[in-house]
Amino acid sequence: MSAHKKRNISVLGSTEFTGIHLNKPAPYAAGLTGIKVALQHAFKEMGVVKSFRTLAHMNQKEGFDCPGCAWPDPEKPSKLGEYCENGAKALAEEATNKRIDAAFFAQYSVEELSTWSDYEIGKCGRLTTPMVLHPDSIYYQPISWEEAFSLIAKELQQLNSPDEGIFYTSGRSSNEAAFLYGLFVRAFGTNNMPDCSNMCHESSGVALSETLGIGKGSVKLDDFEKAEVVIVMGQNPGTNHPRMLSALQKCKENGGQVIAINPLEEAGLIRFKNPQEIKGVIGGGAPLTDIHLQVKINQDVALLKLIQKRLATLDTVSEKVFDHNFIATHTQGYEALLKDLDRFSEEELLERCGISKEKIALTVDLLAKKNKIIICWAMGLTQHKNGVANIKECVNLLLLKGSLGKEGAGTCPVRGHSNVQGDRSVGIMHQVSPTLNKAIENSFGFTPPSKEGLDTVHAIKAMHNEKAKVFIALGGNFVSAASDTLFTAAALQKCSLTVQVSTKLNRSHLVTGKTALILPTLGRSEQDYTNGKQRFFTVENSMGKVHRSKGILPPASDQLRSEPEIVGGMAQAYFKGKHPVAWGSLSKDYHLIREKLAEVITGFKNLNKASEGAGFYLPNNVRSLDFSKLPGGKAQFSCCELPEHQMPKDGFMLMTVRSHDQFNTTIYGLDDRYRGVHNERRVVFMNPSDMEARGFQKLEVVDLYSNYDGQERKASKFLVIPYNIPRGDLAAYFPETNVLVPYNHFADKSHTPISKSIVVTIQKTE
């Protein structure tokens, strides 16, 4: 093979405008339009008959789990359909009738494909056959599975140390696949297992583990029916967890109230027309939010401190505001917290969060009287330098109110990918767990490595420094999802081999190492047969319930392999029979994987038996108020600092968010219906007063710049849209704006990139 020729790859793809038109932001979510749009997407990708047949099995007991988000299914799913508009889009994207075959790759070089937009790339169809990109080529060519596995084994063997390998996971993999993958990576000899959750809820995991002793939430779905107050912070459920709106609706019907804390007035939080009810289709729908606190970006700590201070003042008068019995029995650090709050003036806190005194008073009044409180949150809290502090302040509030370990109350970090929580539970992590290592050693007869591995941001750095040379991804789209797109691209391009186990074509197949492999795999919705017998797998939802999922569609191609088979194939080629783990039998028999998983991972006892039925909840110490593993055996109050930002003159704070028509880097369409934007993604939302001050017209073309540590980064060509957003704040979509996020600026402790608070300046495009 000749020496590597540098390919001419367009890392960012097309930046052409697509023909915007604007409407008023929608006054409600879902309703008839939601049903219509869901079906349009489904029919276009799958045809009418297949759409109805497949949707009828999604989120049903005998069917498959929605490939969209991790929101749980009700105990008794409605036979009429238990999915939302965006679940239908996620399914349509996976179950599309379009195919990418070897002829497609012979026609289009990676150089040409890389100039397309992510939307165009994603719409090409399902990957059907393993492909290789040789160092001297710009065209992918077919390769057999066995040759692909040998190529991987050879590259892995050539590394100077196992720590030169990076093994990424995205949260779509089943528990079985993820467990086997983690086992292979450890057997290979490294803990370099960066995961999409490093860019996602890692801040929640860190904050909750330190304060409550478990990195997961404590509520169950039916707690929403019993809650007196649900606070939805830094989350846009109408788009990203649409069926959560039904849970909020039930809370309201039972007399509960909803507080939304968000710089934007998201449609899904204003009013919900439940498509499963007649009144939701023909009526005006149900109002959801009682109080909207339009906090400035990244000022949630200030807001929560202000609320705690006001509640503390009221408590000195009535003593019924805080749950003193709960505080005395279950917590540590109460006095220190009260003292610490004295450091902050109410005036400063009020000014920082930018909310009116009246709204704060309303909120404090409501919270003072109630003690069944749920706090839900997502990326609006986790993706900041102080992401961990944001969540610790939420825990403070719940502890003060005794809102844990009782029905209708608790923590609810709302997870992203459908099995991201399960993947972590079964051992995908870069941290070392001595208990897990011991259990693996006992069950499998080898000693896993005890050195901490690299998370996402540190894996990028290692590849850039050529300290890591082989990158393998079980799902996902690393180059577009990670921060600092150009830096991340350069890091991947320095690798000797990049491998993507994928269902659909994406940019990470085009921005590659010297050699690259595409290994096509089965999706959720597809049947997984071996020796004439259909296999199923298990997943864990956002509330810690494990249940099974069984596909119903014939596979997109007869060459696809399941994820456990692909992992097993890599392991067999690498170890060549010289390893105590029976990789071959495990990758064929998921029952066997589950047996071993149950032996090794706490809480999964009887996994095989339990996953036959309705599923089961994993143990959760917060539900039983057992804090014995924490200092003093108590839940911990935290004293956190306020965030500091170096704002230049004319600087703005930018949050990078999802449109209504995308799943992370998968672009379903070009609309963001609820925010009134149609047929365009290159937009930046700005307060009309800021536009006036800066002399920007509606749809002015501008460039965004960030400048960290003296390095300027630029995102070119965005259209300014006047929007109801606090002054000084901006919003734009990811992945287009990931070029602006410096890879080496991330949350303290959790290392989550600062994708929701990027300091930028903005200039008219020359």
Residues that bind Mo ion (CB under 5 A): 200, 416
SS3 of 39-55: the string is HHHHHHHHCHHHHHHHH
State how far Cα 765 lies from the chain centre. Answer: 32
501 touches, from Mo ion, ligand MGD, ligand SF4, none (C-beta below 5 to 8 Å by class): ligand MGD
Which lies closer to ligand MGD via its Cβ, residue 327 or residue 539?
539
Q: Decide: 128 and 557 in contact? Cβ < 8 Å.
A: yes
Judged by CB under 6 A, which stretch of 131-139, 236-244, 478-486, 513-521 contacts ligand SF4?
236-244
**Which residues between 37 and 66 bind ligand SF4 (CB under 6 A)?**
66
For position 87 contacting ligand SF4 by CB under 6 A, the verdict is yes
Which lies closer to ligand SF4 via its Cβ, residue 372 or residue 660?
660
Which is it for the CA torsion 243, 244, 245, 250, positive or negative? Answer: positive
Q: Which residues contact 363 (CB under 8 A, 6 or more apart)?
A: 259, 291, 293, 307
For position 414 contacting ligand SF4 by CB under 6 A, the verdict is no
Judged by CB under 6 A, which stretch of 82-90, 225-233, 314-322, 603-611 contacts ligand SF4?
82-90
SS3 750: coil
Which lies closer to Mo ion via its Cβ, residue 198 or residue 371?
198
Which lies closer to ligand MGD via its Cβ, residue 42 or residue 314?
42
Least CB distance from residue 668 to ligand SF4, whole Å? 12
By CB under 6 A, name the one of 71, 119, 478, 537 that touches ligand SF4.
71
By CB under 6 A, name the one of 28, 64, 83, 167 that touches ligand SF4.
83
Query: How deeply is 431 buried, as exposed, middle or buried, from its count of CB atoms within 10 A (0-12, 13-18, 19+)?
Result: exposed
Which lies closer to ligand MGD via its Cβ, residue 332 or residue 503?
503
Phi, psi of 479 (to 5 degrees): -65, -35
Least CB distance from residue 442 to ligand SF4, whole Å? 36
How far is 30 from 619, CA to CA, in rounded Å?
A: 34
Measure Cα distances from 324 to 317, 321, 335 in Å. Answer: 14, 9, 12
Q: Could you tell me whether strands 758-764 and 701-708 are parallel, antiparallel, or unpaired per DSSP bridges?
A: antiparallel
Least CB distance from residue 553 to ligand SF4, whole Å? 17
Q: How far apart are the first and last CA of the chain?
A: 45
Which lies closer to ligand MGD via its Cβ, residue 474 or residue 677?
474
Which lies closer to Mo ion via its Cβ, residue 189 or residue 416?
416
Least CB distance from residue 241 to ligand SF4, whole Å? 5
**Across the chain, how many H-helices and E-strands are there?**
31, 33
Judged by CB under 6 A, which stretch of 67-75, 256-264, 326-334, 473-481 contacts ligand SF4?
67-75
Judged by CB under 6 A, which stretch of 28-36, 84-92, 177-185, 622-630 contacts ligand SF4?
84-92
For position 243 contacting ligand SF4 by CB under 6 A, the verdict is yes
Q: Decide: 167 and 430 in contact? Cβ < 8 Å.
A: no
- Which tokens is 565 given? 């088979």
For position 238 contacting ligand SF4 by CB under 6 A, the verdict is no
Q: Which residues contact 23 (CB under 8 A, 6 or more apart)?
A: 676, 678
For position 200 contacting ligand SF4 by CB under 6 A, the verdict is no
Which residue of this chain has its Cβ atom nearest to Mo ion in the complex? 416
Least CB distance from residue 374 to ligand MGD, whole Å? 16
| Degrees to nearest 5, angle at CA 471 with 466 and 477 | 120
Query: Alpha helix (H) ranges present in 319-464?
Result: 324-330, 334-341, 346-353, 357-369, 379-382, 387-400, 420-425, 434-444, 456-464
For position 385 contacting ligand SF4 by CB under 6 A, the verdict is no
Least CB distance from residue 236 to ligand SF4, whole Å? 12
How far is 34 from 26, CA to CA, in rounded Å?
A: 12
83 touches, from ligand SF4, Mo ion, ligand MGD, none (C-beta below 5 to 8 Å by class): ligand SF4
By CB under 6 A, name the one of 26, 55, 69, 719 that touches ligand SF4.
69
Least CB distance from residue 239 to ligand SF4, whole Å? 10
DSSP of 644-712, one letter per residue? Answer: ---PPTT-EEEEEE--TTEETTEE--S-BGGGTEES---EEEE-HHHHHHHTPPTT-EEEEEEEETTEE
Least CB distance from residue 674 to ligand SF4, whole Å? 15
Which lies closer to ligand SF4 via its Cβ, residue 242 or residue 408?
242
Choose among 36, 38, 92, 364: nearest CA to 231: 364
Which lies closer to ligand SF4 via its Cβ, residue 285 or residue 333?
285
Judged by CB under 6 A, which stretch of 235-243, 284-292, 471-479, 675-683 contacts ligand SF4?
235-243
DSSP of 314-334, one letter per residue? Answer: HHHHHS-SS-HHHHHHHEE-H
476 touches, from Mo ion, ligand MGD, ligand SF4, none (C-beta below 5 to 8 Å by class): ligand MGD
For position 364 contacting ligand SF4 by CB under 6 A, the verdict is no
Interface contacts to ligand MGD, rule CB under 6 A = 68-69, 86, 170, 172, 196, 199-200, 233-236, 239-241, 261-264, 266, 295, 297-298, 300, 378-380, 383, 416-417, 474-478, 481, 501-504, 506, 521, 523-524, 563, 655-658, 662-666, 734, 737-738, 741, 755-756
How far is 586 from 603, CA to CA, in rounded Å?
A: 21
How are strands ordered across the β-sheet holding 497-502? 141-142, 131-133, 515-520, 497-502, 470-474, 165-169
SS3 of 698-739: the string is CCCEEEEEEEECCEEEEEEEEEEEECCCCCCEEEEECCHHHH
Which lies closer to ligand SF4 via its Cβ, residue 10 or residue 204?
204
How are strands ordered across the β-sheet holding 29-30? 29-30, 271-273, 286-287
For position 417 contacting ligand SF4 by CB under 6 A, the verdict is no
Q: Binding residues for ligand SF4, how many (CB under 6 A)? A: 12
Which lies closer to ligand MGD via its Cβ, residue 159 or residue 288?
288
Positions touching ligand SF4 (CB under 6 A) are: 66, 68-69, 71, 83-84, 86-87, 90, 241-243
